[in-house]
């Protein structure tokens, strides 16, 4: 069952862990206002749309925020953007597949063009959710409130967001997690 090229040895895992720590600790971080990096996306009101096959976000914080499937008629169909709850527990999500906004939620995207690599979205999602976790039903995570918040991001020598670091850092973490999953699976298979 074991595929040698997919499994990290303990030495390799330790080396990856050391590289992650080195990358993280020896990096310059800068705070950015969310509204300086992202912009809210205006969407059509589809609250009266009947059932259909288009995933739609609501205020839920599970199932990647997809609370209902509606008819796509008149809907603003989005993909590869962030969505967030506007009511309930504050939380942001990355939406890699087509969806629309139904109610009690909103979508936002990068203000400038970035490479559509999943690593970038995952990294930013972690940073965003550090902010969103401060919000609740009594203190709603509306765009007007969230957009003024600060998030810390790694910067390069020109004081710009360091996308090279983000890509490498996220890749290393994903590799370690994948290794843990493979090791877990292999141990389960050995039992049988």
Classify residue 16 by its DSSP letter. H
Percent of the chain with pLDDT over 70: 94
Residue extents of the structural domains in the chain: 28-161
Does the 28-161 domain belong in CATH 1.20.140.10? no
pLDDT tens-place string over residues 136-168: 888 999 999 999 999 999 999 899 999 988 988
CA distance 164 to 161: 9
Cβ-proximal residues to 136 (8 Å cutoff; 6+ apart), any chain: 88, 89, 90
Report yes or no: 134 and 87 within 8 Å, Cβ to Cβ. Answer: no
Residue 8: pLDDT band with limits 50, 70, 90? low
CA distance 50 to 157: 52
> Regarding beta strands 100-101 and 51-57, do their DSSP bridges make them parallel or antiparallel, or are they unpaired?
parallel
């Amino acid at each position: 069952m074991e595929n040698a090229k997919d499994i990290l040895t303990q030495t390799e895992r330790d080396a990856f862990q050391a590289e992650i720590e080195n990358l993280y600790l020896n990096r310059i971080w800068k705070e950015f206002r969310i509204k300086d990096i992202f912009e809210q996306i205006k969407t059509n009101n589809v609250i009266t749309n009947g059932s259909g096959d288009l995933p739609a976000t609501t205020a839920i914080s599970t199932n990647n925020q997809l609370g209902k499937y509606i008819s796509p008629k008149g809907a603003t169909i989005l993909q590869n953007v962030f969505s967030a709850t506007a009511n309930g527990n504050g939380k942001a999500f990355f939406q890699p597949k087509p969806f629309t906004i139904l109610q009690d939620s909103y979508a936002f995207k990068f203000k400038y063009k970035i490479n559509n690599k999943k690593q970038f979205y995952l990294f930013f999602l972690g940073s965003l959710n550090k902010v969103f976790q401060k919000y609740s039903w009594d203190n709603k995570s509306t765009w007007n409130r969230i957009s003024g918040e600060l998030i810390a991001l790694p910067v390069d020598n020109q004081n710009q967001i360091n996308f090279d670091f983000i890509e490498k850092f996220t890749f290393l973490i994903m590799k370690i997690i994948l290794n843990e999953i493979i090791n877990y699976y292999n141990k389960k298979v050995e039992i049988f």
